[in-house]
A = this chain, B = another copy of it.
Amino acid sequence: MDSSPLDRTRAIDLLRTMETIRAFETRIEALFKQGLLPGFVHSCAGQEAIATGVCSRLDRADCITSTHRGHGHAIAKGIELDAIFAELYGKAAGACGGRGGSMHVADFSIGMLGANGIVGGGFGIAVGAAFAARYQRREQVAVCFFGDGAANKGTFHEALNFAGVHALPVVFVCENNRYAQFTAASRTTAVADISVRAAAYGIEGDSIDGNDLLAVIDATDRAVARARSGGGATLINMATYRHSGHYVGDAEQYRSREEVAASRSEQDPIQRFTAHIVAAGVVTESEIADVRLAVEARIDAAQQFAEAAPFPDPATAMRDVFTEAGS
A164 part of interface (Cβ distance < 8 Å): yes
A197 part of interface (Cβ distance < 8 Å): yes
State A155–B199 Cα separation when bound (angstroms).
18
Interface segment, one of A35-43, A70-78, A183-191: A183-191
Interface segment, one of A101-109, A200-208, A219-227: A200-208
Give the bracket for the number of chain A residues in contact with chain B: 20 to 34
A110 part of interface (Cβ distance < 8 Å): no
State A157–B154 Cα separation when bound (angstroms).
6
A8 part of interface (Cβ distance < 8 Å): no
Interface SS of A by simple majority: helix
Which of B160, B164, B190 makes the CB contact (< 8 A) with A161?
Answer: B190
Known: A153-B154, A157-B158, A197-B200. 6 other contacts (CB 8 A): A154-B156, A164-B191, A165-B189, A191-B201, A191-B202, A196-B199
A residues with a Cβ closer than 8 A to B are: 152-158, 160-161, 164-165, 187-191, 196-197, 199-203
Set of chain B residues within 8 Å of A188, measured between Cβ atoms: 161, 165
Shortest beta-carbon distance, A232 to chain B, in Å? 10
State A121–B259 Cα separation when bound (angstroms).
41
Q: Count copies of this chain in the complex.
A: 2
State A197–B203 Cα separation when bound (angstroms).
12
Nearest chain-B residue to A188 (Cβ)? B165
Set of chain B residues within 8 Å of A165, measured between Cβ atoms: 187-190
Which of B154, B201, B202 makes the CB contact (< 8 A) with A154?
Answer: B154
Nearest chain-B residue to A155 (Cβ)? B154
Which of B154, B155, B200 makes the CB contact (< 8 A) with A191?
Answer: B200
State A7–B229 Cα separation when bound (angstroms).
59
Nearest chain-B residue to A159 (Cβ)? B154
State A189–B196 Cα separation when bound (angstroms).
18
Set of chain B residues within 8 Å of A203, measured between Cβ atoms: 190
Shortest beta-carbon distance, A200 to chain B, in Å? 4
State A152–B166 Cα separation when bound (angstroms).
14
Highest count of chain B CB atoms <10 Å: which of A154, A201, A202: A154
Set of chain B residues within 8 Å of A187, measured between Cβ atoms: 165
Set of chain B residues within 8 Å of A157, measured between Cβ atoms: 152-154, 156-158
State A156–B197 Cα separation when bound (angstroms).
14
State A191–B134 Cα separation when bound (angstroms).
22
Set of chain B residues within 8 Å of A201, measured between Cβ atoms: 190-191
Set of chain B residues within 8 Å of A156, measured between Cβ atoms: 154, 157
State A270–B187 Cα separation when bound (angstroms).
45
Beta-carbon contact of A196 and B200 below 8 Å: yes
State A153–B162 Cα separation when bound (angstroms).
11
Shortest beta-carbon distance, A100 to chain B, in Å? 26
Beta-carbon contact of A164 and B152 below 8 Å: no
9 nearest interchain CB pairs? A154-B154, A164-B190, A157-B157, A197-B200, A190-B202, A200-B200, A190-B201, A154-B158, A161-B190
Set of chain B residues within 8 Å of A189, measured between Cβ atoms: 161, 165
